[in-house]
């Protein structure tokens, strides 16, 4: 590496750790200490700015322009592919920048990108509100909202990013802009679905909140894998018929105290009155197949309880490989997912089905996010020992090479562009997005989509079924 000025006179207060000057342990902690996936990357930023204010973000961007280097961003550190860790870039880590303000009269909450779902909803719950953010409690809202936000009860309430009313953005030139549907609207359009290709750094989200639900109930039924086809057919069939308060998930997971996976169906009703929630879940009770191992119907729950379950399913200090697909509406969904649900390579790994109908059938607002079907499928392959890397990652590739043949595209949040590039937007939205990225960041100052060799630059992603296209040749 060359020698760089680490004490820039014009930026004396910038909290920056330079790779070439910092003790190795301090630099390594800044580089990957907040990366959730312990399959850590061999990529090394030039420096890490541990921002505690909006001004630090502005100053870091201006410094990058002075040095002629790129900038990457970290909100919560839960990107499975560690998109924030880029070679020779200045990494702006927002983990110590905290802003959380409730505008109760307008039902708007201002939140900085590293704010987690647990923190956000913990504050809102005390005031009688909630925000339908991510299911995993420690995920920062920054990356989650930029990629669309498949949040609580998404099948009925829509995408979390639809509740973004404004964003404050530091542009590639270091300007701080307030962006809404009327002002700086191109950045606002991109902020709802561009994902890690967003050509700016969001410093605040302005989010519309909803009432807190005090009568939440959950029905959980677990079956042996031998019942997979019957149970999955039932889940797919019943999902569109349920009350608009009910979130529907099917998952292949290992239950506590067991070593083999089970097929589990989970139904959560968001109601203010328990009796209303019980009525909403009645079709589950009256139609669920027999032969279950565990059945817990209509038990009381709340977001705090649900967060505990999600945290247990996504343990810290583990290695992860994730993939996903929006399965085509006309596909035999049960068959498409069968190998994934029944051959998981590790007891801690799980496969997930998230019902998206009826919201998947409506016209979306005008925003970058545009890819959806009735059926969302994801693999969360979890393991502990690096000697299992090739086996577990190979299993994911084998599964997805078949699933993609029956898919329309994928969700940005559970993807790794270094491994598989597919469709993430409708074609017109993809073309508009890539054009606007070039307009707002023509030099590629902000790291975009991390593909093989980190070569995407200002071109972005091609938005095509890469593996599906190969299969057809």
pLDDT tens across the length of the chain (473 residues): 333 344 443 466 899 999 999 999 999 999 999 999 999 999 999 999 999 999 999 999 999 999 999 999 999 999 999 999 999 999 999 999 999 999 999 999 999 999 999 999 999 999 999 999 999 999 999 999 999 999 999 999 999 999 999 999 999 999 999 999 999 999 999 999 999 999 999 999 999 999 999 999 999 999 999 999 999 999 999 999 999 999 999 999 999 999 999 999 999 999 999 999 999 999 999 999 999 999 999 999 999 999 999 999 999 999 999 999 999 999 999 999 999 999 999 999 999 999 999 999 999 999 999 999 999 999 999 999 999 999 999 999 999 999 999 999 999 999 999 999 899 999 999 999 999 999 999 999 999 999 999 999 999 999 998 776 555 44
Rounded-to-integer distance, Cα 347 and Cα 381, Å: 9
DSSP conformation class of 238: H
Dihedral pair phi/psi, residue 176, rounded to 5° = -105, 115
- Are 34 and 313 in contact by the 8 Å Cβ rule? The answer is no
Question: Which pLDDT score, from 0 to 100, does residue 2 have?
Answer: 32
Determine the pLDDT at residue 465: 86
What is residue 467's predicted lDDT score, i.e. its pLDDT? Answer: 74
Distances (CA, A) of 228 to 155, 200, 286, 337: 23, 45, 19, 10
pLDDT tens readout for residues 268-284: 999 999 999 999 999 99
**Structure confidence by residue, pLDDT tens digits, 202-234:** 999 999 999 999 999 999 999 999 999 999 999
CA distances to 37, 81, 390 from 321, in Å: 9, 8, 11
On the 0-12 / 13-18 / 19+ scale of CB atoms within 10 A, 354 is: buried
- 217-414 topology per CATH: Vanillyl-alcohol Oxidase; Chain A, domain 3 (3.40.462)
The set of residues, in sequence order, having a beta carbon less than 8 Å from that of 167 and lying 6+ positions away, is 178, 179, 187, 188, 191, 202, 204, 205, 206
Q: What is the dihedral of CA 115, 446, 164, 32, to 10 degrees?
A: -20
The number of beta carbons lying within 10 Å of the beta carbon of residue 53 is 16
Query: What's domain 16-93's architecture?
Result: 2-Layer Sandwich (3.30)
Alpha-carbon distances, residue 185 vs 168, 209, 343 (angstroms): 12, 22, 46
CATH number belonging to domain 100-211: 3.30.465.10
Decide: helix, strand or coil at residue 367: coil
At 471 the pLDDT is 52
**Among residues 185, 183, 143, which one has the least CA distance to residue 367?**
185
pLDDT the model gives residue 402: 95
pLDDT for 470 equals 55
Residue bearing tokens 């750094």:
201
* The pLDDT of residue 24: 94
In which order are the strands placed within the sheet that holds 90-93? 16-18, 47-50, 90-93, 71-74
* Beta-strand pair 261-269/350-355: unpaired
The domains of the chain are located at 16-93, 100-211, 217-414
Instruction: Supply 437's token pair.
Output: 């990225």
């Amino acid at each position: 590496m060359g020698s760089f000025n680490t004490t820039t006179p014009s930026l004396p207060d910038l909290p920056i750790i330079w790779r070439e000057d910092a003790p190795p342990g301090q630099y390594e902690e800044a580089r990957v200490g907040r990366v959730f996936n312990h399959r850590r990357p061999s990529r090394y930023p030039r420096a890490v700015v541990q921002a505690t204010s909006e001004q630090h973000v502005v100053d870091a961007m201006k410094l990058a322009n002075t040095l002629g280097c790129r900038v990457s961003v970290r909100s919560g550190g839960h990107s499975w592919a560690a998109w924030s860790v880029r070679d020779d870039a200045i990494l702006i880590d927002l983990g110590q920048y905290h802003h959380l303000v409730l505008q109760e009269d307008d039902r708007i909450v201002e939140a900085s990108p590293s704010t987690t779902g647990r923190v956000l909803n913990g504050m809102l719950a005390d005031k009688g509100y909630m925000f339908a953010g991510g299911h995993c409690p420690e995920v920062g809202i920054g990356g989650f909202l930029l990629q669309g936000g498949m949040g609580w009860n998404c099948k009925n309430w829509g995408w979390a990013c639809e509740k973004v009313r404004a964003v404050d953005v530091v542009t590639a030139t270091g300007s701080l802009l307030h962006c809404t549907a009327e002002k700086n609207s191109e950045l606002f359009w991109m902020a709802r679905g561009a994902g890690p290709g967003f050509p700016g750094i969001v410093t605040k989200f302005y989010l519309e909140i909803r009432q807190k639900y005090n009568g939440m109930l959950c029905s959980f039924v677990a079956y042996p894998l031998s019942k997979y086809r019957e149970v999955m057919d039932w889940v797919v069939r019943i999902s569109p018929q349920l009350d608009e308060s009910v979130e529907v998930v099917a998952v292949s997971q290992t239950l506590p105290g067991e070593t083999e996976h089970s097929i589990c169906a989970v139904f959560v009703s968001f109601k203010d009155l328990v009796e209303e929630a019980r009525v909403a879940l009645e079709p589950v009770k009256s139609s669920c197949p027999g032969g279950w191992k565990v059945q817990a119907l209509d038990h009381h729950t709340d977001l705090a309880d649900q967060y505990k379950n999600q945290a247990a399913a996504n343990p810290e200090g583990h290695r992860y490989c994730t993939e996903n697909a929006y399965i085509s509406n006309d596909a035999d969904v049960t068959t498409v997912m069968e190998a994934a649900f029944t051959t998981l390579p590790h007891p801690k790994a799980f496969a997930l089905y998230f019902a998206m109908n009826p919201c998947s059938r409506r016209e979306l607002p005008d925003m970058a996010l545009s890819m959806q079907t009735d059926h969302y499928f994801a693999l969360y392959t979890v393991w502990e020992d690096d000697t299992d890397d090739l086996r577990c990652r190979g299993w994911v590739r084998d599964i997805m090479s078949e699933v993609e043949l029956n898919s329309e595209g994928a969700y940005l949040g559970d993807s790794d562009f270094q491994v598989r590039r597919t469709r993430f937007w409708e074609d017109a939205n993809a073309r508009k997005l890539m054009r606007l990225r070039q307009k707002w960041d023509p030099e590629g100052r902000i790291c975009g989509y991390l593909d093989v060799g980190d070569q995407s630059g200002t071109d972005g992603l091609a938005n095509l079924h890469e593996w599906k296209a190969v299969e057809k040749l």
